[in-house]
Structure 1
């Protein structure tokens, strides 16, 4: 890569070449002893002897420690359950306004894995980290076992009698009754609530969203006369401009948007164009990290920047300018590109300011985007919350004007900015009921808790978009004595039907059924989704008052330091904060786990004397919105100068052992604004993985170029290992071609992966899918700090900038670097370095190209990990699944209930063995056996790895490289060249294809496609 002028780095400590970082990186393995208390440096002779005892005696006996489990046959076997055979059920994930159509894999009646439903026109088979992890929440030991009256257990008959008596009395006296919920996507549930209102006429339904979209709803109502979120189609956009909208990570419908966006970023022989993406934001978001042009702005600048873009577009389309606009880099360039792509562009904003959203509507209208890339007719239902109605409810409750309230699966005491006021006001409400599945912050303040089923135990429907429906069906008998919330509402309404019957009857009467309804219903359940086309097509004309909007949009006062509150990809709004898979998932940007922190820029850190190494930095007091919280800082490249960032979803007090007490609650200061930060002497170590498994200066890891160069030369950015002059002249073999192996001839299958760096957004859906599929344990914060994370698949996040040769250049590089994400798993090398050093042949090469692990043969020498250039092998220090030492962080999996999520097709590893990616060999074997039973070879697509299946960007392609009809064969343009009797070499013809660390000659079966950015050559 001698022609590449860039410097690539994973973290500030690597960029600055921090001596402590170099010391730990060069030691290859952290030599801390397994104390399990988060501290381990300074080992003694006694420690050494303990380690030897652990490494030799305990590890050698690891196989003997595996528990004996007896198989108990069925007395009466269920008709639809066959031991060893999975069942699949189409269902729906709907949490507030978050939505995904899914397929649930069950084994012996236990849901164990969630996949995307490819029949959905919205999510198109994609998932997210939160969707994948939601199966573990089903087995959360913190869920309530049954109804409660106050802090005491009760039964459903008693609860129903008391609640109905009080509701009837309150309604008879004209007392106000409120049902409070997040966005409800289910039309049938809304009908149930209407029946409840008919029974108790003083009832009002109040919906709110923790992250409100009120500004957009209000702007669309004033601009077009329709209070709704439009449907966006990023796949039709040649130019995308986003102001703080993290549409690939957390904004509105990220799974859907990622699927669309990735289609505009793919390149091949038939497509040599890609979208151009501009991002304006304060915090470095997942979307900003994928942008071609990213401009840092403060929160107070957003309205001014939108106004500037409005004026730039208006000047070329005959519109009048608005006041209050500022001057910002890339605004004119973005406007010029938008004008070239009229009708094929999208402008979006994550602001909750109605004025900002009205200006955005005006820009899209001038660009003729409505009806093309933006559809208000087939609107989305993802965010329906009415912020003003929720504020009125809290005010009324404080004034004693609310007599009864039912909190339907929501937690406003925690996730509303006025949650503290509401908690105090509930003392004035005579009847308070929660349907939460656990005694959360709101439920513990209620008189009754009527716990709802988990969604995987429930019947339901959803209408995520106008005319698009999906069904949810139970995939397991309810584990506890819970009851579906809709059944509770029906019971309290005096209805005689259960919700399943009610749901069927509603569909029978409202859906356009021709023929037998039973057949229609069965097909709908089987497919999971139903599309109902609307005959009427509405058109909308923009009628917003842009001058008034501009005054509102640009009215935010600037401050020297401003707080930008954001939502994390993994933890989200905090609903699933007690899920250890999500807590331990490294954040795609900071690579931090288990912690909440304040992100600051490198320039701010330098000015305030803050220095970080592997997450260890100063604690600070943050004051904003009249609140003060204490938390650690993380130096985050790309953080806008004059801003600090804080995530919501933490600071839980009644979520469960995993979440309680972690981080600080950002909801009371959700509005952000002016901030003050006081640096304390106290230090804290954030559990980060960003510089674990470093390559220490090796090249050819990331290869990239720009679109204009690619269009001239498809191999642009493709750097080949250096060959010296004497080798070229003499014809000598390059060092990379030397091998201890004779080679491998794959006569049957040859499995491989192809990963398109242009499509990968870093969303981490693949990461959690891998953990779910392969029984990968959670180890906890202390173990992550000691670099013992067990993830088989990691998403390496690389920053890149101009070459750095001094401290001043380092500071500049850290301000706003480019970002590349690279999924990294076992590369399944044909010349595998691990296989040559294992003294017991625990790691071997299969006849189908897989690097295999025989766990009960491994004695834990770790030679293989030492010899692995990709650092993808994991040593299992403890019995993480069983050890009570990790119960606090692994409560959902360290008990018999949590173990129900384990995949029986994958060995649960005992301590003392190495483990790593197997390319989901259990799926490969199952697919081959199914094809064999049908007397055929597996077809392309019959077998897929968990990571490739989950990827909403279709960035990972798995297949048989011997199958000339497979996607991977065609994608890589493979040609088989026979080198000798014992080997067939795969010649890859795709110009963008490369292998990581190609120069060392290990010949992986995982291939990457170069990253191409759509920016000018002079700016690359």
Structure 2
């Protein structure tokens, strides 16, 4: 077997062995209560003094809990018993069918709805965190007129009167996926002769416009990445932020899962400027400039056209690595391939449509006959609205749950133009950048307090229902629209009537509407068996190609800006959510900021050296607008380009998001009729002398120089040897080499009942971070804020380690830095490994950490005195120490809104202890879920069945990369994945799956977490 000699590194400081990094790596713990630059903690007695004092104070500061009995208990609420409601998350075109867990009438956790044919049980970090926004004190508690509190009767009377006399009225909204909501909007528009204008903060107008031009279709195509053997993407981050990432991730993972019996996987080519989550997972990634993007698409079209015997187009003179290889493999997989682009240029998308037609993909992997409606925004209409508003031609404007003053390219003009309208209304739930400028604010319910329906795709429907009574004096926006339109029907009846009229008759299985409604509500989804007709491309490819060739340059010499969306923050609508702000970005591992990503070459040329987040700020100027933003050196950034994330720079989002980062929407260009996220002209960058620290987590937990943490191979090597890439540690004993497990001081464990474990497929993990937020929600994990992250004290129980790798042979700093221009990326979820030979258990002086009879490494919080010996002895660095009373300390109120006020505490999971300061905490493998599942099975008089119990991380994972189960159950999925020898109850399992390995197997701590080697679909010569 060929030994893997790649160099793996988490950050440039680790790659170059920067002095500061080495110093911090050698220091086992972050500093004490003072900042990182404060006093030393090397004095053992001082350390012990603080730890014991902290533990003593923690005992005094434990929260007081009061149980108030029901006088009249609600019928459907039983104390300690959760209820579950099928519902739907939808925001600005983002969509997921979900199941909401409530305890004593309050929503506390969101999981995916496995019955959904679209999201199929998957979630994202934003969806998982959305439950917290329900308890945000920034929400409006009632209607407002001119910034002052009012009442609904006054609002209704004045809005109806003023809209009637306003003249020209516009209703501005983000994408509306709800048919019933659209009907209520239409009634409002008809009542006042208004026009509805739809835009999206992250626009896909280019695709929808091209769909109309090419096929006469209103909407986006339905994509099927699971049906593609070859995937080619030009800047489309379909695993992270593009259109429907939960759905696409689920599809993508199907093509990446391999077994010895089925050693086939899709091959993925990515051409992009910024290193995206999708690019990080590609087999072949090529950094290109935005100015080359359109020409690269034309070049691919010509390469395919030549093989198809079709006419080529002009203007494709550009040399892009791996493009010819991609073209050949696409042609060899006609009808089983897919080409997508993240460009918002309609002409580029017309060429993309033509490529998929040549490849016979239309109707198979790209289906325009069954359109999706995730993004309905019309950039051209929105531009016209802004022109009319600023010119004073709009008499009345209604903003339906949208914030264009902040998140549209011409937001400054909208802010100036609102005052020119005779009447302005917003239904936004907070006094955000737009709502604060209008006359009337009629706040909508939170989506978890609302009834609604959704139609994300032709023939696919879902419902949402209230999971809690309204917390404030808000009113569902749809009901406001009906009232203002003169319709006094409440929205629930309106919704039911719509389903009775439009959907009940589409099925014959149920004859009673109420039964049909109840079943649809219980399942959360309803699907029509609709047939679709094939479509014909009628677009003029030559005209589109001519426009593309004149708009893009092969040799642009200036700096280019590529504006993108982060996985955790998205458009910025959820920016006031501290769980999302503190989530490490999957690529940069940065929190609490956006920043200008630059290449290593640019940093070297400009004398910028970045060490552990310490950097400098720069002035970036686009079209006369200048922003001051910190600079982050990002491996994989295309030379000559910089990147900046949307979603930051909020001024009226709330105490969490205000003042965090800069607003990149201000730099966008909408002058060409569409919102352009790639700025290729007029960009200048000037590095300043001002220093800044970005709170990154990528090098906080190190393995102290240990190797073979990541084990990988190519698909070709795997086909030849299923153990390819595996490292088999051996120890010399009595003249022969043996496995480390053969030499041990441990007696071992016997598990007579259950033996819980995790299996993590590195091929399926895309690094999206949904599991990290799900764990935080489920287990009441504290938010600590930027300064504490800088102090290396983040509390996350599960982290996603992002490794870059340099090719074999690179050894000097120059060679390694050159490799940093486009490194390979591997993601590895890392949590407590629940070792059978646990190093932490043997060093705890008070037996606070112990081993359970079912293989779990347990923590008894009220026994822990905070010595942190266990954290010191943990080779995986997965234990967290509570330096402060994060949940209840006023010093953390600004960042930990989840637990620092009475309203925010409603989101806490009562089944999990809220830890006080001075104790160690870490992954419990969701022991509360394990106990609940066991008790349910006991009440029902049966054994626990596989699937009854699942951890929060595994449930949230959209790619099913994490599998939890009982390794003593021969029928469990994890047992079959690991190919465990049957009838064994010992701690050391005989695992026969060739790809399965333990991290740091050589130290023989015998974890209950297994990893499957990463397999890349690259040619051997290029690996």
Q: Same fold (TM over 0.5)?
A: yes
Residue 703 (structure 2) pairs with residue 695 (structure 1) = yes
Q: Which residue of structure 2 lines up, in the alignment, with residue 563 of structure 1?
A: 561
1:595-623 Cα offsets, whole Å, 9 max, x none, are 11100000100010000111111111111
**Among 695, 704, 717, the residue aligned to 1:709:** 717
Shift of 1:379: 0.7
Cα deviation for residue 736 of structure 1 reads: 5.3
- Residue 269 of structure 1, CA deviation: 3.1
Matched, 1:951 2:957: yes
Identify if the C-alpha distance between structure 1 residues 841 and 497 changes in structure 2 by more than 3 Å, giving closer, same or farther.
same
Judge which range, 949-958 or 224-233, deviates more: 224-233
**Equivalents in 1 of 2:404, 2:45: separation in Å?**
54
Cα–Cα, structure 1 residues 712 and 732, in superposed 2: closer, same or farther, change >3 Å?
closer
Q: Which of 1001, 1006, 1009 is the matching residue for 1:1006?
A: 1009
Paired with 1:294 and 1:379, the residues of 2 have a C-alpha distance of 29
Pairs within 5 Å for 1:150-549: 150-170=146-166, 175-200=167-192, 202-325=193-316, 326-513=318-505, 514=508, 515-535=511-531, 537-549=532-544
How many angstroms apart in 2 are the aligned matches of 1:270 and 1:405?
61
CA distance in 1, matches of 2:140, 2:196: 25
Q: Alignment partner for residue 38 of structure 2, among 41, 45, 48?
A: 41
Deviation of 1:627 (Å): 1.1
- Cα pair 1:599 1:644 within 8 Å, conserved: yes
- Aligned equivalents of 1:223 and 1:327: distance in 2? 28
How far apart are residue 520 of structure 1 and its match? 0.4
Say if 2:28 is the partner of 1:28: yes
Contact 1:140 1:891 in 2 (8 A): yes
Q: State the alpha-carbon separation in 2 of the partners of residues 328 and 176 from structure 1.
A: 50
Q: Distance in 2 between matches of 1:864 and 1:51?
A: 15
Please show how residues 964-1003 of structure 1 align to structure 2 within 5 Å: 964-976=970-982, 983=986, 985-1003=988-1006
Deviation at 1:733, TM superposition (A): 5.5
Deviations 1:566-614 (A, max 9, x none): 0000000000000000000000000000011100000100010000111
Report deviation, 1:741. Answer: 2.0
- Superposition pairs for residues 904-943 of structure 1, below 5 Å? 904-943=910-949
Q: Which residue of 1 aligns with 2:684?
A: 676
SS, match of residue 464 in structure 1:
strand
CA distance in 2, matches of 1:89, 1:797: 35
SS at match of 1:986: coil
Question: Unpaired segments of 5 or more residues in structure 2?
Answer: 669-675
Q: Is the CA contact (8 Å cut-off) linking 2:797 and 2:831 kept in structure 1?
A: yes
In the alignment, the residues of structure 1 paired with residue 45 and residue 435 of structure 2 have an alpha-carbon distance, to the nearest angstrom, of 51
Q: SS at the partner of 1:987? A: coil
- Partner of 2:286, secondary structure, is strand
2:848 to 834, 842, 867: 842
| Corresponding residue of 2:116 | 120
- Shift of the 263–639 alpha-carbon distance from structure 1 to 2, 3 Å rule, reads same
Distance 2:824 2:47 in 1: 42
CA separation of 1:573 and 1:936: change in aligned 2, threshold 3 A: same
How many aligned positions are there? 1004
Match of 1:765 among 770, 775, 781: 770
Q: Secondary structure of 2:369's match? A: strand
Separation of aligned partners in 1, 2:765 and 2:742: 30
- Looking at structure 1, the residues matched to 923 and 614 of structure 2 have their Cα atoms a distance apart, in angstroms, of 30
State the 1:534 CA deviation: 1.6
SS in 1 for 2:686: strand
The SS at the match of 1:157 is: helix
Shift of 1:427: 1.4
Normalization by structure 2: what TM-score?
0.97
- 1:864 corresponds in structure 2 to 870
Deviation at 1:68, TM superposition (A): 2.0
RMSD: 1.5
- Cα deviation for residue 984 of structure 1 reads 5.5
Contact kept in structure 2, 1:141 and 1:892, CA below 8 Å: no
For the 8 Å contact 2:217–2:371, the answer to whether it is kept is no
- Partner residue, 1:583: 581
Equivalent residue, structure 2, for 1:81: 77
Moved more, 604-613 or 887-896: 887-896
Answer whether contact 2:797 2:922 (CA < 8 A) is retained. yes
- Separation in 2, partners of 1:58, 1:273: 55
2:747 counterpart of 1:748? no
Q: Deviations over 1:190-235 (max 9, x none)?
A: 01111112221x2010000111111111111111121320000111
Tell me, in whole angstroms, the C-alpha distance in 2 between the residues paired with 1:149 and 1:567: 34
- For residues 757-789 of structure 1, the C-alpha deviation after alignment (integer angstroms, 9 at most, x for no partner) is 000000000010000000001000000000000
**Distance between the aligned counterparts of 2:439 and 2:680, measured in 1?**
37
Q: CA deviation at 1:319?
A: 1.1
**Preserved contact between residue 92 and residue 201 of structure 2 (Cα < 8 Å):** no
Q: How does 1:569-718 map to 2 (within 5 A)?
A: 569-670=567-668, 671=676, 672-674=679-681, 675-718=683-726
* Partner deviation per Cα, 1:143-187 (whole Å, 9 max, x = no partner): 1111111111001111111111111222xxxx1111100000000
Offset, 1:48: 8.9
**Structure 2 matches for 1:3-82, cutoff 5 A?**
3-30=3-30, 32-35=31-34, 38=35, 40-43=37-40, 53-82=49-78
Partner SS state of residue 209, structure 2: helix
Change (3 A) 1:614 1:51: same
Alpha-carbon spacing, 1:905–1:80, altered in 2? closer, same or farther (3 Å): same
1:737 and 1:1001 in contact (8 A); partners too: no
Shift of 1:455: 0.3
TM-score, normalized by length of structure 1? 0.97
TM-superposition CA deviations, 1:232-275 (whole Å, max 9, x none): 01110000000000000000000000000000000113321000
CA displacement at 1:983 relative to structure 2 = 4.1
Q: Give per-residue Cα distances to partners, 1:125-155, cap 9 Å, x unaligned.
A: 0000000000011111111111111111001
User: Are residues 112 and 806 of structure 1, via their aligned partners in 2, closer, same or farther at CA, if it must alter by over 3 Å?
Assistant: same
**Distance 1:317-1:166 versus aligned 2 partners, 3 A rule:** same
**Equivalents in 2 of 1:579, 1:322: separation in Å?**
48
Report the alpha carbon displacement of residue 33 of structure 1 after superposing the two structures with TM: 2.6
Distance 2:39 2:933 in 1: 50
8 Å Cα contact 1:469-1:530 kept in structure 2 = yes
685 and 48 in structure 1: CA distance in 2 versus 1, 3 angstrom threshold: farther
CA contact (8 A) 1:245 1:348 kept: yes
